[in-house]
Structure 1
Amino acid sequence: MASSGDHDEIIKSISDAPPTHYMVKIESFSLLTKHAIERYETESFEAGGYKWKLVLYPNGNKSKNTKDHVSVYLALADSSSLSPGWEVYAVFRLYLLDQNKDNYLILQGNERRFHAVKREWGFDKFIPTGTFSDASNGYLMEDTCMFGADVFVSKERRSGRGECLSMIKDATSSKHVWKIENFSKLDKESYDSNAFFAGDRKWKVRFYPTGTKQGTGTHLSIYLTLVDPETISDGTKIFVEFTIRIFDQLQGRHIAGKVTKWFSRSSSEHGWVKYVSMVYFTQPNSGLLLKDVCLVEADVCVHGITSAI
C-alpha cells in the first residue's frame, strides 16, 4: 500500500479521466536505473497560479529509507518570485497510467502546506517496483510509463516575516593584538584599534581610557565593535563569541572577559562598561600598564548568521 511521509489518510482510486494539469511520458524507464539517476524532476507546469514539478525516484527515495517502491512527489518549482513568508495550501492527485485498461491509478492525500522549508510533498511508497515493473499490470509497457498530476490550490497565506539561522561548522577565531602607547597622554573619550576580519566581517576594539556610562571615572571600558553596520541588511544578526584580554606584562598572564553576543545593524557594539578598575589597572605590580604601554588582544569567532526570509 502506498504511504506518504506522514501517517495520514491516502485515497487510492481508479479513473478513466486523465489529469488536467500535467502528464509526463518516460520512455526507456530502465535507463534511469542503469545511469544511476536516483531522482528525476519534470519541467515545471502551472496550476492555481503557481509553478510545480513532478519528482520521481525510480528506485525509491533513499533519504526516506524507501526501498522496493517508486516514490513520487509534487514540488513547488519556483519560490523565488514569491514574497517572504509565503505559504501555499494545496490538495493534489498523482496519476499513473494503466496502459492495458486505459485508465489511471490515482493517489490523493490530505491538504498540504508548501513553503520555503517544505517545498515537496507526495508518496514515499507510490507503488511497489514489482507491481510497477510487471507488464501484465499495464503500468510499464515496452519500458514506457506515464505519470501525471492535478493540483488544486485551496488557500494562500503570507505568514509575515521569518528568518533562517545558519550555524558555521568548524568556525575559526581571529586574533588581533593592539599595542596602546603613551597611555597617560590619551585625552580623547575613546580610541579604536585598526580594523581586522573575523567571519567575513570587519571589527574593531573600542577603548575608553577613562570609562563610559556607569564606569566613567572609575573603570576602563572596552567593547568589540562591528565596522560599517549599515551594510548589514535588516533582519540579519551575527552570533559572535569573543574574548578581550589585557596582558600582565610582568607575570606573562592576563585579565580577560569572554561573552557570546548577537550583533546587528542596531546593536553593533558589545563589551564591558566596567572592564577593570583604574586603581588596579594603574598599580605598578598589576603589570597591565608597563612603561605607559598596555597590550590588548581580541579573540573573535563568528558562530552563526541569521538572515531574514
Structure 2
Amino acid sequence: MCSNVSSTTMQSWRERSPSSYSLKIQNFSQLENSTLSSKSNEKYQSRLFSSGGYNWSMIIYPKGNDKDNGSGFLSMYVEIDSTSLMSKPQTEVFADVRFFVFNKNVNKYITIQDVESKRFNTLKTVWGLPQVLPLDTFSDPNNGYVFEGDQCEFGVDVIVAPPPANWDILSFNEKFPCPKFHWILKNFSELKELVYTSSILPVGGRKWFLSLYPNGESAKTDGESAKVDDERVSIYLILADNETLREDEKVFAQAQLRLLDPFGHDHVTVELKDWHIKSNPGWGHRHFMSRTELQKAYLGKKDTLTIEIEFEVVSETKCSPII
C-alpha cells in the first residue's frame, strides 16, 4: 500500500540512489524519540547540502506533520537556505523536487514527486509532501522500508531550473513614422537593363528595396536558364545586402504594393506578405502585370511609371546570444 497523494504527484521505483542528498538512519526509533522534544517541533532537519548553486536541507516528520494534514503518514520536505537565496541576483528559484525512501525487499527506492516545478523565495522557503507513506506501511518490517533491525534510508533530489539560456522575443511592429514610399521610373519604355532597384526603404528597423524586372525575371529550371518572360513585369521586395540574416533568422513583412494610375482612377494593388530568410531575402510577384497592359494604362505623359509601397507589418526578433 502506498500513501494518499494528490493528483499532481507521481510515484515510481528507481534503483539509482538520490543524487542531491541521502540520509541513512541506523536507529529509526531513536530518531522518532528525539523529535518528541518541544524544540524539534516533531521533525528532523538535515545539515545543509548544495544543489544548483543554492543550499538546502531535508526535513523529515517521523510521526507525520499534523499541521499539514500529515497525521498517520511519513512527511518529507525540503527547505532552501534563505541566506544562499539572498546572496544571488535571482530572488526566486524554481526546482523539481523528488523524495526517496529505500525499500530493502526490492533493493530500490520508491520515489514521490510533484509534476510541477516548485517556486522557492524568501516568503516560501519550504515545500514538501505531508503524506509520503502511511506510517503503518512504513513501520512494518515485512514491507522492507525498515530493515536489519531499525535501519532506513531517505533521500531527495533537488534539480534547480536555470533561467532560459536560449530565448526569442518576437514582436510585430504595425506603426511606422513613414510607412509609405514612392518609386518613379522615368522613360520606362526605353529601359533596357534586366533589373532596376529602388533607393533604400528604411522601415521597422530594417532596410529594404524594390526590385523591378521590366521584361520579366529570368528563371532557372532544371539547371538551365529559362527564357526571359518579356510578357510580364516582375517586382519584388528585398532585404538590403547589409541586412545579413543568420542561417536560422527570419523577418516577416507585410505591405501593399500599388501601381499608380496616372489619372488616379484605377490603381493596381497587390499584397506582399511573407517571411524573409537568408536563402531567400526577397518576395514578390514574378508575373505582376503584362508589359503591354502596363504601358497602355499606367505610364504618365513623360513615360513615367510610379510605384507605391505601404508597409503594414514588420517583425522584430530579439534573441539570446549564440555561443
Using the size of structure 2 for normalisation, the TM-score is 0.52
The match for 2:170 is 166
Residues 174 and 312 in structure 2, CA contact (< 8 A), matched pair in contact too: no
In 1: Cα distance, 2:277 partner to 2:167 partner: 14
The match for 1:305 is 316
**TM alignment of 1:58-137, pairs within 5 A:** 74-75=93-94, 90-91=96-97, 110=114, 121-122=119-120, 126=124
Q: Which amino acid in the other structure matches residue 19 of structure 1?
A: L
In 2: Cα distance, 1:15 partner to 1:291 partner: 94
* C-alpha distance after superposition, 1:176-218 (max 9, x if no partner): 1011001122110000000010111110010111111477110
Choose the corresponding residue for 2:82, options 19, 24, 32.
24
1:194 equivalent in alignment to 2:199: yes
In 2: Cα distance, 1:170 partner to 1:162 partner: 26
**How far 1:163 moved relative to its partner?**
6.6
1:152 equivalent in alignment to 2:158: yes
Show structure 1 runs of 5+ residues with no match: 1-5, 27-40, 45-51, 56-73, 76-88, 94-107, 114-119, 129-149
1:216 equivalent in alignment to 2:220: no
User: In the superposition, relative to structure 1, how do residues 9 and 90 fare at CA in structure 2: closer, same or farther (>3 Å)?
Assistant: closer
**How far 1:155 moved relative to its partner?**
11
Q: Secondary structure at the match of 1:168?
A: strand
1:9 equivalent in alignment to 2:9: yes
Residues 10 and 115 in structure 2, CA contact (< 8 A), matched pair in contact too: no
Choose the corresponding residue for 2:268, options 248, 255, 261.
255
In 2: Cα distance, 1:16 partner to 1:181 partner: 85
Residues 229 and 268 in structure 1, CA contact (< 8 A), matched pair in contact too: no
In 1: Cα distance, 2:294 partner to 2:10 partner: 73
The match for 1:275 is 288
Choose the corresponding residue for 1:176, options 176, 181, 185.
181
User: In the superposition, relative to structure 1, how do residues 216 and 151 fare at CA in structure 2: closer, same or farther (>3 Å)?
Assistant: same
The match for 1:42 is 86
In 1: Cα distance, 2:314 partner to 2:43 partner: 53
Count of matched residue pairs: 205
CA RMSD of aligned residues (A): 4.2
1:295 equivalent in alignment to 2:306: yes
Residues 181 and 294 in structure 1, CA contact (< 8 A), matched pair in contact too: yes
In 1: Cα distance, 2:7 partner to 2:90 partner: 24
* C-alpha distance after superposition, 1:93-144 (max 9, x if no partner): 9xxxxxxxxxxxxxx953667xxxxxx845999599xxxxxxxxxxxxxxxx
User: In the superposition, relative to structure 1, how do residues 165 and 239 fare at CA in structure 2: closer, same or farther (>3 Å)?
Assistant: farther
Residues 164 and 307 in structure 1, CA contact (< 8 A), matched pair in contact too: yes
Larger Rg computed on CA atoms: 2
Q: Secondary structure at the match of 1:274?
A: strand
Residues 163 and 306 in structure 1, CA contact (< 8 A), matched pair in contact too: no
The match for 1:147 is none
Identity of aligned residues (%): 19
**How far 1:260 moved relative to its partner?**
1.4
In 2: Cα distance, 1:152 partner to 1:291 partner: 77
In 2: Cα distance, 1:126 partner to 1:182 partner: 75
User: In the superposition, relative to structure 1, how do residues 10 and 200 fare at CA in structure 2: closer, same or farther (>3 Å)?
Assistant: same
Show structure 2 runs of 5+ residues with no match: 1-5, 12-41, 56-80, 100-111, 127-155, 220-227
User: In the superposition, relative to structure 1, how do residues 90 and 199 fare at CA in structure 2: closer, same or farther (>3 Å)?
Assistant: same
Using the size of structure 1 for normalisation, the TM-score is 0.54
User: In the superposition, relative to structure 1, how do residues 155 and 307 fare at CA in structure 2: closer, same or farther (>3 Å)?
Assistant: closer
